[in-house]
Every structure is written in C-alpha cells, then in structure tokens.
C-alpha cells in the first residue's frame, strides 16, 4: 500500500447520506435507509453538443442511401453478379447501419462510418466507368441533365466531406458516449427509488 493513499474514503448513498469509512471497507450500508453505500454518484450534467456528430452521421447515411439507391436501381434493370455491384450494394448498407449506430453515440461506429465514406470515395474514383454505367442503367439520368462524370465526382465529394466530418465529430462522439455511460450508471445506482 502506498503512503499517498487516503486511509478513509467517503461513500455515498442514493438517498443522499454520506459516510466516511476506512478505505479497506467495501460493503457498508446506509444508516438512514439500509441500502448499500457506494462511490460518489456520477453527475451526468447536460447532454453534450452533438451537432457535428448529427451532421456527419446524417451525411454518411445520405451518401450511402444515394449509392445504395443507384446500385439497386441499376441492378433492377440490368443485374450482373459482379463484385463491383456487390460492393455497391453492401458498402452503403454498412454505411447506413454505422451512421445510425454512431448517431446514438458510438465512437467506434463513427470510425467505421468514416472508413465507409472513404471506401465510397475510392469506389467512385477507381470505378468511375462502373458508376457511369450504373447511372445509365438506373434510369436516373432521365431526371438529371448534368454530365455523368461530374455527378460521379459529386457523389465522391459528398462522401469525402462526410468522412472528414466523421473524423471531426470523434471528440463529440466520445463525450456523448461518456455522458450516456454516466446516465446509465446513475440509473443503475438509483433504480427502485
């Protein structure tokens, strides 16, 4: 045992009662209500700001929905069991799930969302001809008059911005997750009150 450690600790009860007890003592009941005392109750405070997290995850889901819609529309007209089409169906689906999970406060899911955005950028740039083919096959071009290459770069740019926003939103996601954790702990400690 090192000397800087206090010999006593303060334990708190959910009823508000506090007791200072020897540090070795772990199971102590409250003199007022008989419940078990524990470490100080966490104070969750107000919900941290999540505007960047919301924007980043919404953009990831939007660009994923555009990519998925394009793949589904082109597959419906002309299905080829290619790896490229498979990727265009699966990657955006993962993006929609990761975006939703990250929005609920998952820093890990936010990193996955950023990676998926980057993969969509890569698929747009490396598979530009395939995207243009899908744009033609989907029938979407009847409603869009712009140049197909420009449209492909537009999707890539949106995915790129979404990916950067996900990385920028990481601190917000961490604070939000920590805040949720504190609330869950508080709810667990004060259950039945």
End-to-end CA distance of the chain: 37
Candidate ranges 11-19, 63-71, 79-87, 168-176; the one touching Zn ion (CB under 5 A): 11-19
The rounded distance, in Å, linking the Cα atoms of 189 and 193 is 9
- Taking CB under 5 A as the criterion, the residue among 26, 32, 78, 104 binding Zn ion is 32
Q: How far is the CB of 31 from Zn ion (least distance, A)?
A: 8
Whether the Cβ atoms of residue 96 and residue 113 lie closer than 8 Å to each other: no
Q: How far is the CB of 22 from Zn ion (least distance, A)?
A: 19
The rounded distance, in Å, linking the Cα atoms of 86 and 182 is 41
Q: Does 15 bind Zn ion (CB under 5 A)?
A: yes
Which stretch of DSSP H or E encloses residue 8?
A: strand 8-12
Q: Does 185 bind Zn ion (CB under 5 A)?
A: no
The DSSP-derived string for 155-190 is: HHHHHHHHHHHHHHTHHHHHHHHHHHHHHHHHHHHT
Q: Does 165 bind Zn ion (CB under 5 A)?
A: no
Q: Does 30 bind Zn ion (CB under 5 A)?
A: yes
Candidate ranges 6-14, 61-69, 159-167, 182-190; the one touching Zn ion (CB under 5 A): 6-14
Q: Does 104 bind Zn ion (CB under 5 A)?
A: no
Q: Does 17 bind Zn ion (CB under 5 A)?
A: yes
- C-beta neighbour count of 4 within 10 angstroms: 5
DSSP code of residue 14? T
Three-class DSSP category at 12: strand
- Which is nearer to Zn ion, 21 or 49 (by Cβ)? 21
Q: How far is the CB of 34 from Zn ion (least distance, A)?
A: 7
Q: Does 33 bind Zn ion (CB under 5 A)?
A: yes
Q: Does 77 bind Zn ion (CB under 5 A)?
A: no
Binding site for Zn ion (CB under 5 A): 13, 15, 17, 30, 32-33, 35
């Amino acid at each position: 045992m090192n000397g800087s450690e206090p010999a006593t600790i303060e334990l708190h009860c959910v009823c508000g009662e506090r007791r200072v007890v020897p540090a070795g003592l772990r199971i102590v009941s409250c003199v007022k209500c008989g419940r078990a005392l524990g470490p100080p109750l966490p104070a969750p405070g107000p919900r941290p700001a999540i505007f960047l997290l919301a924007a980043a995850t919404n953009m990831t889901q939007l660009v994923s929905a555009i990519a998925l819609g394009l793949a589904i529309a082109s597959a419906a007209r002309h299905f080829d069991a290619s790896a490229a089409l498979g990727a265009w169906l699966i990657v955006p689906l993962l993006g929609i799930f990761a975006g939703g999970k990250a929005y609920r406060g998952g820093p890990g899911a936010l990193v996955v969302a950023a990676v998926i955005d980057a993969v969509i950028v890569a698929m747009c740039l490396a598979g530009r001809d395939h995207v243009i083919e899908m744009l033609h096959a989907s029938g979407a071009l009847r409603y869009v008059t712009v140049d197909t290459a420009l449209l492909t770069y537009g999707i890539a740019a949106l995915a790129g911005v979404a990916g950067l926003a996900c990385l920028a939103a990481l601190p917000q996601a961490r604070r939000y997750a920590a805040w949720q954790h504190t609330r869950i702990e508080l709810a667990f400690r004060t259950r039945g009150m």
